[in-house]
Amino acid sequence: MPFSEFLNSRREDCHALVRELSKTYSYVGILGADVKSTAILANRKMTDINEGSLTECGFVVKMHDGRAFFEYSLDDVCGDAKALAEKIVAAVAPASRMADLQIKVSAVKDEPLVKSFSRPCDFEDYSEEQLLAFAKEIRDDILAQDERVINAMVRISPFTVSKLFISGNRELDQFYSWVNVMGVAVFRDGEKMVVTQEGTYSNLMKEAMDGMPALVPVLVEKARKLATAKPIVPGVYDVITDSSISGLIAHEAFGHGVEMDQFVKDRALAKQFVGKYVASPICNMRDGAASAFSTASYFFDDDGVLAGDTQIIKDGILVAGISDLASASELGTEPTGNGRRQSYKRKAYSRMTNTFFCPGTDKLEDMIASIKHGYMLFETNNGMEDPKNWQIQCTAEYGIEIVDGKLTDNYVSPVVMSGSVPELLKSISMVSDNFKVIGAGSCGKGYKEWVRVADGGPALKVRVKLA
């Protein structure tokens, strides 16, 4: 599947507009985006094929005048570059006059680089009708597993991304794809109703589809188990987290807290702990679009900065945050490649990508054996963070009780984990040698602006409050 013909046809227009705007501004960068997405759905009552929520096509211009950044979005850049530049300068003039009241930012580095990036993609091998037929087949298989499955849903969400970035010295383009295939079972046993889900994901459609049939019995068996789940007795427990819950902690505990646009605004307590212990010495954590391969991986960010791999925690010490171009300029640091937008019409923020704890050396079976009484927690439900006070609340779909070093058949659901971030992370006493990044999520920020994210890690042994 090729890079966008539309964006290719606008390269020279972008260069011309950069030249014109550079007569007024010290830095000009233009991002062009052409994203195509589809949502294919099959449940017991209906099937549907719609345009996906990620679909967009347009441009955003980012300018720096030596004092502050300004942005202007538009659907197209073709035509008279001089007239368009004059229109943009006039539109941002009111904000420019306010720049003296803003934080002054350092000059932007615009180092020369011309490069194209791409990943393999097989989406053209599959029609929408073929994908819908597959979704119906998996749906029917879920329904056939148990008469207590009263509804089943299968959703296939492919998208392709073409992005072009042009500045005074840079010309970059990238093409990549991703697809999530998700199966859901609605299970009713008497008065008890539970909803479970399992999914696959890949940059290749064939790979994602091939992995889904084997997950159907897993999905329904999990529903049977959860139908027997009891509420947990609130208390402080020794806990083992699966990769999903480890990722949720990484995302909520430190991901948001080290987004450096929050440092600029003094909204993150983590700013005060750079260079200090914030976790157990066996704890290491990273973030970056180049750190792992997932729905959040790309070759360069929306500021034209190459994808990064940032170590956030090293041996328990907070060593770095993640930044976009603007926050890095305001703080006098190098951008980490984390400048991301929901769309070309929305602002770029410092945003997480692949956020995860690094693997350790412990065996999972030894971790379970070390617990007299506690729980192993599974599957992210939701999470909330308070970067200013450094508190978190994370919800797991379910937990399995551990008694005398062995997993039992006792399921609890749901399970809410809460507390102080440093206390939680400093309680980490074991880190498994297995590792997984789960590439299927989304994260909101600003005015509920969403981007694709992934998180994960090894299993962690922690001591934490559960309810």
On whether both 364 and 429 belong to a single domain, the answer is yes
Q: Please report where in the chains the tokens 């539970």 appear, as a residue.
A: 194
- The answer to whether residues 241 and 390 belong to one domain is yes
Supply 47's token pair. 């099937």
Q: Which of 206, 225, 244 is the last residue of a domain?
A: 225
**Per-residue pLDDT tens over the stretch 113-146:** 999 999 999 999 999 999 999 999 999 999 999 9
Quick one: 307 and 398 in the same domain?
yes
Q: Are residues 388 and 448 in the same domain?
A: yes
Question: Is pLDDT of 252 > 60?
Answer: yes
What CATH code is carried by the domain that includes residue 97? 3.30.160
pTM over 0.85: yes
Exposure letters 121-149 (e unless 16+ CB within 10 A, then b):
bebeebeeeebbebbeebbebbbebbebb
What pLDDT is attached to residue 103? 52
Task: Indicate if the pLDDT at residue 288 is higher than 60.
Answer: yes
How far is Cα 404 from Cα 238, in angstroms, rounded to an integer?
12
Residue 46 belongs to a domain: no
Q: Give the pLDDT of residue 282.
A: 98
Same domain for 258 and 183:
no
Kindly report the CATH number assigned to the domain that includes residue 137. 3.30.2290.10
Residue 210: band (very low, low, confident or very high) from pLDDT cuts 50, 70, 90 = very high
Does residue 98 carry a pLDDT above 70?
no
Per-residue confidence band for 93, with pLDDT thresholds at 50, 70 and 90? confident
The two three-digit tokens of residue 236, written as one number = 């402080």
Domain count, the chain: 3
Confirm whether 43 is domain-assigned. no
**Domain stop point among 186, 202, 225:** 225
pLDDT in tens, 23-48: 999 999 999 999 999 999 999 999 99
Same domain, 462 and 360: yes
Q: Of 225, 245, 260, which one is at a domain's C-terminal end?
A: 225
Q: Is the pLDDT of residue 100 over 60?
A: no
Query: pLDDT value at position 237?
Result: 97
Q: What is the pLDDT of residue 94?
A: 83
pLDDT of residue 7: 98
Cβ-count burial 296-329 (b if 16+ within 10 Å, e if not): bbbbbbbbbbbbbebebbbebbbbbbbbbbbbbb
Task: Indicate if 84 and 212 belong to the same structural domain.
Answer: no
In a domain, 395, yes or no: yes
Q: 410 and 456: one domain?
A: yes
